[in-house]
Amino acid sequence: MSTIVGIIKALNSGVKHLAVKRFTLRYPEEKLKFVGDGYQYDPVSGVAIAGYKGRHMLFHDKCTGCQLCAIACEGVAEAIGMVKVDNKWKQNKKAILPQIDYGKCVFCGLCVDACPFYALYMTNDYELSSFTKESLIYTPAQLAVKAHMNQDVQIAISKRGASHSAELPAPLKKALPPAQPQLESKLKETQEDKEKADDKGDTHG
C-alpha cells in the first residue's frame, strides 16, 4: 500500500510542475545581468571589486608597459604578450601594450590583480566566439573598446516558481547598504580633475 502512496506522491510532485513557470533562460534574446561593470582591482587597498570576469578592458592612457600582467600570466596561461604600438605616451616611453589571446585565457583575473596603475579591468562581455583562432587574439586597440551588452534579466522568484525577469525584486527587510568603495566614481572624479587641469593649462598656454 505504501508503495502505491509513494508512487502517487512522486507523480503528483511532477504533475504540479505543469503550473510552474519555466526556469529556462532564452539566451540570445535574454541575457543575465551581472553585478557592476566587471571585475576591477584597487591596488591601493589590495582588494578587488566584485564583478563578472569577462573580456578585458585596457586603458591606453594609464598603461605604462610595465609587463606585470604578462609576468602574472606566464604562470597561468601565457595568454598575454606585449606588442609595440605606434603611439607614444608620457607614462609609456617604450610604447608597448598587452595583447591578449582569448584562445588561451582562463579568465582567472590575476593579471588585473597584478596591475598597479588601474589600467586593466575585466568587463561583462563574454561573447567571444569566432571562426578562426587568429581572430581570438585581441590587439590593444580592440581591448580599448568598451562592449555594450544588453544584459538586463535577473532570476526572479515568485510563488509560481523561479523564472527570469527584467524587473528588480523588492528588497527584503534585511538589505545591507553597499559595503564597498565605488572605484568607478573615484576614477571618473580623478579623470575630470585631470581634464579640468588640462583645460586650464591650455587656456594659460
Partner 1 sequence: MTTQFPPGIQLEKEDERIMTLNIGPQHPGSGHMRLIIKVDGDYIVSCDPDPGYVHRGEEKMAEHRNYLLNIPHLERPVIHDSCNILYPYCLAVEELLGTEVPERAKYIRVIASELNRCVYTMYWLGIYGIFLGHSTMFMWPMADRELLIDLLEAMTGARVTHSFFIPGGVRNDVPPNFEDRVLRQLSYFEKRLKEYEDIFYQNPVLKSRTEGTGILSREDAIRLGVTGSVLRSAGVDFDLRKKEPYDVYDNIDFETQVLKEGDSYARSRVPYLDMLESCNIIRDALTKMPTSGSVRVKLKPNPKGSADEVYRRVESGRGSLGMYLVSNGTPQPYRLKISVGSFRNIICLPYLLKGELLGNMPAVYWSLNYWPVEADR
Interface ranges with partner 1 (CB under 8 A): 2-3, 6-7, 9-10, 12-14, 23-24, 32, 34-36, 38-39, 45-53, 72, 75-77, 106-110, 113, 122, 155, 157, 162, 169, 171-172, 174-180
Question: 199 CB contacts (<8 Å, ≥6 apart)?
Answer: none
What's the N-to-C CA distance of the chain in angstroms?
95
Q: How far is the CB of 38 from partner 1 (least distance, A)?
A: 8
* Least distance CB 153 / partner 1 (angstroms): 11
When the beta carbons of 134 and 179 are compared against partner 1, the nearer one is 179
Which residues are 83's β-sheet partners?
97
Cα-only R_g, the chain: 24
- Is 32 or 139 the residue whose CB approaches partner 1 more closely? 32
Angle at 38 between CA 32 and CA 39, to 5 degrees: 130
Tell me whether residue 87 or residue 180 sits nearer to partner 1 (CB atom): 180
- Closest CB to partner 1 among 180 and 191? 180
**Nearer to partner 1 (CB atom), residue 160 or residue 204:** 160
Assign 14 to helix, strand or coil. Answer: helix
Minimum Å gap between C-beta 74 and partner 1 is 8
Q: Taking the complex as a whole, how short is the minimal distance between the CB of residue 204 and partner 1, in angstroms?
A: 40
d(CA 150, CA 92) in angstroms, rounded, equals 34
In angstroms, the CA 111 to CA 124 distance is 16
